[in-house]
């Protein structure tokens, strides 16, 4: 789900389930490489995508200095953070841990 900033609170911070948030940009080749992984995870888990060019304030708030950056939220708190290309198994294991 592409996430707009006005939905951040309801979709991420107030979610009752873990949420994986993918901070990305259209010009970022590693971000594009992560698309199949993100799509596969979205079939089983709640996943949101935040375009850092459109939502710079969110990126600053969570200190996103390089992309792709993936943050796992549980009950409104960041419980895990992954920078760069990350394997589906690594992400799936972490999501399962917090489910």
Known catalytic residues are: 28, 31
Q: Give the number of other Cβ atoms within 10 Å of residue 8's Cβ.
A: 18
Give the integer Cα–Cα distance in Å for 95 and 32. Answer: 21
Give the integer Cα–Cα distance in Å for 21 and 70. Answer: 5
Give the integer Cα–Cα distance in Å for 31 and 39. Answer: 12
Give the integer Cα–Cα distance in Å for 99 and 94. Answer: 9
């Amino acid at each position: 789900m592409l996430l707009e900033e006005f939905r951040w609170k309801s979709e991420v911070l107030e979610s009752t389930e873990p949420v994986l948030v993918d901070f990305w940009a259209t010009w970022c080749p590693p971000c594009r490489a992560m698309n199949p992984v993100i799509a596969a995870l979205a079939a089983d888990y709640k996943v949101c995508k935040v375009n850092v060019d459109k939502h710079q304030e969110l990126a600053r708030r969570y200190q996103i200095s390089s992309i792709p950056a993936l943050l796992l939220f549980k009950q409104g708190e960041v419980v895990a953070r992954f920078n760069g290309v990350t394997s589906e198994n690594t992400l799936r294991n972490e999501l399962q841990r917090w489910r």
